[in-house]
Chain A
Amino acid sequence: MSVLSDRDLIQRARRGDADAFGELVTRHQVSVFNVCYRILHERTEAEDMAQETFLRAHDRLDQFDDERPFGPWIRRVAANVCLNHLESQRVTAQLDEERDADESQRPETQAEVREQSEQIRGALAALPAQYRVVVELRHFQELSYDEIAAELNIPLSDVKSHLFRARKLLAEKLHALDR
């Protein structure tokens, strides 16, 4: 099974081969989980959304163009799943800020945020949902502005403003923590 390409596995999965789809999940679960974790900043939630991503991908396998690589596609699906999840929860930037402020008062969290990666994760988690997803698609999935606009079905001007504001907020947050 491991010698098969993603394309072979997709074709088998389309014919109902559960093991082939299981192998696809095994291959891409780390990258998909990380997309979800960067956006959601909560491990259990990230696991649930990663699973949801694969279930959704399974339902849409027939629509997938297997001339394209599977990895970038499933990661974009994951970003959308997380965005929908955040929007359905109506998580606002204000709530995130409040949560962040609460966490910064806990001694164990203060210890964790000394780690640089935790600082970045914390700063990302404090961004509004739309900003987080745009940062994810630009910095981690390396999509162009046009591709992000198409993926999220938003105007190009919104992509730019979300991205630039997100970076400004991240810089402020990270530099404030450095001080």
Chain B
Amino acid sequence: MHLTDEQLNEYLDDEADDRILIETHIAACMDCAARLSALQALFAEIESLPEVEPPHSIAARFSPSRSLPAALPRSLTLTVILQAALAAATIIIAAPFVLQFISPRLSNLSAPSFTEMFIQVQTQWAMLLDALSTFHLPTLPEIPMLEFSSIFMLLAVVGASLLWLVGNGLLLRNQIK
């Protein structure tokens, strides 16, 4: 009575319950020893299969856009806050000038006909051009006016542009990669 294929497979897979029985039989049976040896050679042949390199990097193919950072890094957060603060300061400083310029015109508004409106628009446009030719910034005593040299202004503009570029570059860094 020879060993079954199942017994030989389980023995080589370390899954056989009757290992001693199998080993005793193999020691006495040339046929089963040869079958076991052939199976062992097959195992070695299968497992000799070498690993190969992928033709292209899978890491490069892998899109990181599915996993954008859940929390922005601190440096980026500070840049965003700074940009928002600069934008808010610009609006606050500009608001009195804008209001002073448009409020008299808003108070005179009624519901004119199309022709009247057209004439008004033309008139307003002519007035605007006149006003612009003689326009002077109103003095606001409560806002301290600082004297800036042209070099300082240039540096400020360049600095703001760099800040904007860095901020947006950080925000878009995952798409740029």
Contacts and interface: CB of A to CB of B under 8 A. Distances in A.
Interface string A17-46: 111011001100111111001100001101
Contacts of A124: 46
A43 B53 CA distance: 10
A29 B52 CA distance: 11
Interface string A129-153: 0000001001110001100000000
Nearest to B42: A171
Contacts of A55: 62, 66
A5 to B, nearest CB: 18
B15 A145 contact: yes
A50 interface: yes
Interface residues of A, number: 46
Contacts of A29: 54, 57-59
Nearest to A166: B46
B66 to A, nearest CB: 7
B54 A46 contact: yes
B55 A47 contact: yes
Interface stretch (B5-13, B24-32, B127-135): B5-13
B101 to A, nearest CB: 47
A117 interface: yes
B66 A139 contact: no
A120 B42 contact: no
B46 A135 contact: yes
Contacts of B10: 160
Contact of A38 (B39, B49, B59, B71): B49
Contacts of B42: 167, 170-171, 174
Given A25-B62, A145-B13, A163-B9, A31 B56 contact: no
A117 B70 CA distance: 45
A171 B35 CA distance: 12
Contacts of B50: 117
A171 B53 contact: no
Contacts, number: 106
* Chain A contact residues, majority secondary structure: helix
Contacts of B53: 30, 33
Contact of B64 (A21, A30, A33): A21
Contacts of B58: 25, 29, 32-33, 47, 50-51, 54
A140 B6 contact: no
Contacts of B67: 13, 16-18, 21, 58
B49 A117 contact: yes
14 contacts: A15-B70, A16-B68, A17-B67, A22-B64, A30-B54, A32-B58, A33-B54, A34-B51, A38-B49, A116-B48, A117-B48, A117-B49, A160-B6, A160-B10
Interface of B: 5-6, 9-10, 13, 15, 38-39, 42-43, 45-59, 61-62, 64-71, 174
Given A50-B58, A51-B58, A167-B42, 16 more contacts: A13-B67, A15-B70, A21-B62, A25-B59, A26-B57, A26-B59, A34-B51, A43-B54, A50-B54, A54-B58, A58-B66, A116-B48, A144-B13, A163-B13, A170-B42, A170-B46
